[in-house]
Amino acid sequence: MDDSKKYKKSILGNYLTLDSFMDIVRQKKPVELSNEYISRVNNSRSLVDKWIEQDKVMYGITTGFGVNSTKTISQNDVIKLQENILITHATSVGQLMTEEEVRAIMLMILQNAGMGYSGIRIETLDRYKEFLNKNIIPYVPKEGSVGYLSPEAHIALSVIGKGKVIKNGQVISCERVFKQNNLDKYKLSYKEGLILISGTTSVTGLAAIALFDIIKAVKIADIIGAMTLEVSKGTLRAFDERLMKVRPHKQQYDTAKNIRKILEDSEIAKKYYNYRLQDALSIRCIPQLHGASKKTLYDALRTLEIEMNSCTDNPIIWRHGEDGEAISGGNPDSAYIGIEMDSVCIAATMVAKMSERRNNRLIDGNLSENPWFLVDNPGLNSGLMIPQYTQAGLLNDMKILSTSSVIDNIPTCGNQEDYVAMGYNASKKALAIAEKLEYILAIELLSAYQSYRYLDNNLRKSVVTQAIIDEISKTVPIMEDDIYLYPHIEKLRSLIHDGVILNIAEKVVGEIL
């Protein structure tokens, strides 16, 4: 990342894309609040202030929560109510969220509240902005949410100084971190505890990270698939533009175009064009399967970016008109993201299962025309036998994780919440799916890399292939005899996760669609 991108601030208040989201969450690009953002928030807050003075009954502001919404809260207790909701709702448990995951949720809280329909004070949102910009990471257990509330409550407790913070992998007190960053403890006002934990902020934040990585991995699957085709003496006949035109799915067409562009200068691909009439489905159907998966991913992207730029609070503060209105409803429901992420998990698993089959063809001596497991003297050497076992285990996990979350229903809150979307678990498992997909692709890439040694060295590889091999060869040796494979699998996975493989290809052939 160049310095101009690193230090130029992201201005919140305009439309937030997935790429700009990841610049903030992963690259730690600092954020600033636009004048329009601040104006929207202040106008909404002024209405809440007025209604409090008028003793107006508003859900979660002057009433209890959920089934307790029939309980009226006095003006003397409305501020205490906001702290109580954090203390009692911070009940997620187990493994801690990663730094990226916590940053993603904090950013989504800033987005959600910054739409100007929540009645929160700008000072409170400034507090979240400071946590992001100073990379102060609240202590947030990951397990046990149905779509909102608990992870967000842990974050809010840390922001006001009553929770814990993670620094350098250690759990430390807020008091110590606040002193280091010139922060004081903070008191919430009416409505604020509710908005800070309500909405699809955690569902959307986690989904955004997962979707970003899965889209990138599936583009890279095109590149690795092209390398496998090339090194397997496959035919580009199945990627012919005319063939794609008679089944005009855009993503199928684009995927075939990607493969053709990657291999268009390959002497290997040219020599073996007629070597077989057709290849196995795991090679021949790359456009069809990768294309179908991409359609699902891009559909999810459109839904996600709408959700990222929405207000999912309850109630909303409708600030337009003469008097405005507090409107209670169901915008915190996570069905939109949940359904999409369940579908994304299936799409990613489809790509992974094809990658595993391509890898199997590379290491199977009966299919590859190469020594078994791509090592000389097999028997004494196991070569690349066992990485395929790793793929099998990962793929089994992915199949389990592809079972839908949102079809389940467990009522909560004394049956006031008698239908629950369960979108949080859909997003959470998509994060696991993304990582497993990257590893499965890394193992196929390892086998393709090792396979090239058995081809005629007088034939020129594609420019893309050669550039990727040159990059890999900096750290991964050609295997003459058995070697410790684990660090090399990890290195290849990092080249996929960090986008290095994608960047190499796109520098040569332009955007991979």
Q: Where are the alpha helices (DSSP H) in 161-308?
A: 174-180, 192-197, 201-231, 241-245, 250-263, 267-271, 281-284, 286-308
User: Residue-wise pLDDT tens for the chain (513 aa)?
Assistant: 444 444 578 899 999 999 999 999 999 999 999 999 999 999 999 998 888 888 787 777 777 666 666 677 676 777 788 888 999 999 999 999 999 999 999 999 999 999 999 999 999 999 999 999 999 999 999 999 998 899 999 999 999 999 999 988 899 999 889 988 889 989 998 889 999 999 999 999 999 999 999 999 999 999 999 999 999 999 999 999 999 999 999 999 999 999 999 999 999 999 999 999 999 999 999 999 999 999 999 999 999 999 999 999 999 999 887 788 889 899 999 999 999 999 999 999 999 999 999 999 999 999 999 999 999 988 899 999 999 999 999 999 999 999 999 999 888 888 877 888 999 999 999 999 999 999 999 999 999 999 999 998 889 999 999 999 999 999 999 999 999 999 999 999 999 999 999 999 999 999 999
Residue 342 lies in a domain: no
Quote the CA–CA distance of 387 and 439 in Å, as a whole number.
Answer: 10
Residue 340 lies in a domain: no
Residue 317 lies in a domain: no
Quote the CA–CA distance of 505 and 164 in Å, as a whole number.
Answer: 43
The verdict on 300 and 430 lying in the same domain is yes
The verdict on 303 and 236 lying in the same domain is yes
The verdict on 183 and 218 lying in the same domain is no
Residue 43 lies in a domain: yes
The verdict on 157 and 246 lying in the same domain is no
Residue 318 lies in a domain: no
Residue 356 lies in a domain: yes
Quote the CA–CA distance of 501 and 460 in Å, as a whole number.
Answer: 20
For residue 3, the model assigns a pLDDT of: 44
Residue 334 lies in a domain: no
The verdict on 191 and 245 lying in the same domain is no
What is the DSSP-derived secondary structure letter of residue 461? P
Is the bond preceding residue 315 a cis peptide, omega within 30 degrees? yes
Token pair 């009553």 in the structure block, residue:
162
The verdict on 402 and 485 lying in the same domain is yes
Instruction: Give the CATH number of the domain where residue 149 resides.
Output: 1.10.275.10
The verdict on 223 and 185 lying in the same domain is no
For residue 303, the model assigns a pLDDT of: 98
> Do 103 and 162 touch, CB atoms closer than 8 A?
no
End of a domain among 172, 199, 226?
A: 199
Return the sign of the alpha-carbon dihedral for residues 50, 53, 57, 60: positive
For residue 329, the model assigns a pLDDT of: 92
Residue 502 lies in a domain: yes
For residue 2, the model assigns a pLDDT of: 44
Residue 141's domain comprises 3-199
- Torsion (CA) 101, 91, 87, 70 in degrees, nearest 10: 110
End of a domain among 174, 199, 224?
A: 199
> Do 117 and 44 touch, CB atoms closer than 8 A?
yes
Q: How many CB atoms lie within 10 A of CB 129?
A: 20
The verdict on 164 and 234 lying in the same domain is no
Q: What separation in angstroms does the CA of 328 have from each of 69, 149, 197, 317?
A: 11, 17, 16, 9
The verdict on 24 and 136 lying in the same domain is yes
The verdict on 214 and 194 lying in the same domain is no
For residue 496, the model assigns a pLDDT of: 98
Instruction: Give the CATH number of the domain where residue 497 resides.
Output: 1.20.200.10
The verdict on 189 and 214 lying in the same domain is no
> Do 467 and 509 touch, CB atoms closer than 8 A?
no
Token pair 């073996």 in the structure block, residue:
272
End of a domain among 180, 199, 218?
A: 199
The verdict on 133 and 253 lying in the same domain is no
* Three-state DSSP state, 162: coil
Q: How many domains does the chain have?
A: 2
Quote the CA–CA distance of 413 and 418 in Å, as a whole number.
Answer: 8
**For residue 87, what are its two tokens?**
């203390």
